[in-house]
């Protein structure tokens, strides 16, 4: 059985449309983010209080809202888990008083007092998270730093293993994926949390994987297709690897989907981020990464022989004893 075997789509001819589409999606994403006043931050980053309680009898959202309404500041009330669980999440933003550590628990105490005073059924505290502003600011800084540093490190690695223009293509695709994912998160009302940043970082590592598979094939084909233009070589490579690009993304998608469905409330944001990232990563691999690699390589490709020699050299250096037959031919060509 084989899906998409021997395809011959001309992906490269579509590269300007693809770039335009992606630019549009990214612009729309940024517009959404900006229109909502920046990326909405969960308490991990903005500080604040979250209390999750489980009532032993059903209560309506109205009742919970009415109970916590008297608390100063803005309260968020959300159903937590399935409707039958009677579980509610109540969130308070960072208040001025909790700047001092000794008063950190004021918010959660207010919530519990309010629930008790409102005469709601008795409840059990499932979890309580209180994050002060110091920690939030520190994590924000470290989250941005970790994401950028990992992208940079991956770029350097790809630049070292392939060529610089390929690295730029891969990294452009990764940035694309991150921004698209962020836009979807905002659109679907997820707040940025530690788990979501973890998913974003995983996406940076994962979205490059498909790209590497294509680049690897491009490098291989460059030796056997010396007379063809780079566009043609890339296009053939994308087509040849198309089925595995889709299957690998598909298996990962399946496993994350099960996480999304069965993994519970805590990991839902994480799973959602991964799902969007996987789809975006597959799209960007096929349409963006190679397009940018070609655009950046174009002036280097002519005359063809010099690029060929360069490819052959890097090949010989990067793959010691990997494939004797091909390698000797590649060495001869260089």
Q: Segment contacting another protein (CB under 8 A): 55-63, 133-141, 281-289, 297-305?
A: 133-141
Q: Between residue 7 and residue 46, which ones bind another protein under the rule CB under 8 A? A: none
Q: Which is nearer to another protein, 15 or 280 (CB)?
A: 280
Residues 237-276 binding another protein (CB under 8 A) are 240, 243-244, 247-248, 250-259, 261-264, 266-267, 270-271, 274
DSSP state of 38: S
DSSP secondary structure, 201-224, as one string: HHHHHHHHHHHHHHHHHHHHHHHH
Of 92, 111, 130, 180, the one binding another protein (CB under 8 A) is 130
Q: State whether the Cα torsion 128-133-138-141 is positive or negative.
A: positive
Q: Closest CB to another protein among 18 and 271?
A: 271
Closest CA to 287 of 45, 26, 12: 12
Nearer to another protein, 255 or 328 (CB): 255
* Residue 78 bridge partners (DSSP): 89
SS (H, E, C) 184-201: HHHHCCCCECHHHHHHHH
Binder of another protein out of 78, 79, 195, 314 (CB under 8 A): 195
Q: In 10 A of CB 232, how many CB atoms?
A: 14
Helix (H) or strand (E) holding 130: strand 123-131
The least CB distance from residue 85 to another protein, in Å, is 9
Burial of 251 (0-12, 13-18, 19+ CB in 10 A): exposed
The CB-of-57 to another protein minimum distance in angstroms stands at: 16
- Spatial separation of the C-alpha atoms in residues 303 and 297, rounded to whole Å: 12
79/195 with CB nearer another protein = 195
Q: Residue 69 or residue 138: which is nearer to another protein going by CB? A: 138
Considering only residues 90 to 129 of the shown chain, the ones binding another protein according to CB under 8 A are 100-102, 104-105, 124-129
User: Shortest Cβ distance from residue 92 to another protein (Å)?
Assistant: 14
Q: Check residue 158 for interaction with another protein (CB under 8 A).
A: yes
Q: How far is the CB of 53 from another protein (least distance, A)?
A: 10
What is the total count of residues that contact another protein (CB under 8 A)? 76
94 secondary structure, DSSP code: P
Q: Nearer to another protein by C-beta: 153 or 331?
A: 153
| Residue of 121, 145, 313, 329 that binds another protein (CB under 8 A) | 145
**Closer to another protein by Cβ: residue 110 or 204:** 204
Alpha-carbon distance of 242 to 14, in angstroms, equals 16
User: What stretches of the chain show up as alpha helix (H) in DSSP?
Assistant: 15-35, 43-46, 61-68, 106-117, 133-161, 164-187, 194-224, 230-240, 242-262, 268-284, 290-301, 304-318, 324-333
Closest separation between CB of residue 303 and another protein, Å? 28
State which residue, 10 or 109, has the beta carbon closest to another protein: 109
Angle at 74 between CA 70 and CA 75, to 5 degrees: 75
Q: Which one among 66, 71, 213, 333 touches another protein, defined by CB under 8 A? A: 213
Output DSSP code: residue 103.
G
Q: Looking at 208, 236, 286, 311, which residue binds another protein (CB under 8 A)?
A: 208
């Amino acid at each position: 059985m084989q899906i998409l075997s021997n395809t011959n789509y001309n992906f490269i001819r579509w590269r300007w449309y693809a770039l335009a589409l992606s630019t549009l999606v990214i612009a729309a994403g940024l517009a959404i983010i900006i229109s909502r006043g920046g990326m909405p931050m969960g308490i991990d980053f903005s500080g604040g209080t979250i209390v999750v309680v489980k009532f032993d009898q059903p209560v309506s959202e109205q009742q919970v809202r009415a109970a916590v309404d008297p608390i100063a500041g803005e309260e968020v009330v959300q159903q937590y888990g399935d409707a039958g669980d009677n579980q509610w999440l109540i969130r308070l933003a960072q208040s001025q008083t909790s700047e001092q550590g000794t008063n950190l628990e004021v918010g959660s105490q207010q919530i519990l007092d309010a629930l008790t005073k409102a005469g709601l059924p008795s409840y059990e505290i499932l979890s309580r998270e209180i994050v002060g502003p110091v920690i939030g600011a520190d994590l924000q800084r470290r989250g941005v730093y970790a994401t950028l540093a990992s992208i940079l490190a991956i770029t350097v690695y790809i630049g070292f293993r392939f060529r610089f223009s390929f690295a730029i293509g891969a990294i452009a695709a990764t940035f694309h994926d991150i921004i698209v994912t962020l836009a979807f998160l905002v659109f679907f009302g997820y707040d940025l949390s530690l788990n979501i940043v973890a998913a974003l970082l995983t996406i940076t590592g994962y979205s490059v994987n498909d790209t590497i598979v294509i680049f690897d094939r491009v490098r291989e084909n460059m030796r056997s297709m010396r007379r063809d233009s780079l566009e043609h070589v890339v296009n053939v490579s994308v087509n040849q690897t198309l089925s595995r690009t889709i299957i690998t993304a598909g298996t990962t998608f399946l496993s994350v989907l099960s996480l999304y469905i069965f993994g519970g409330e805590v990991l839902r944001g994480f799973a959602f981020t991964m799902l969007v990232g996987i789809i975006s990563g597959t799209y960007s691999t096929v349409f963006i990464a190679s397009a940018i690699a070609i655009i950046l390589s174009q002036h280097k490709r002519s005359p063809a022989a010099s690029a060929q020699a360069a490819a052959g050299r890097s090949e010989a250096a990067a793959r010691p004893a990997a494939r004797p037959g091909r390698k000797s031919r590649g060495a001869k060509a260089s």
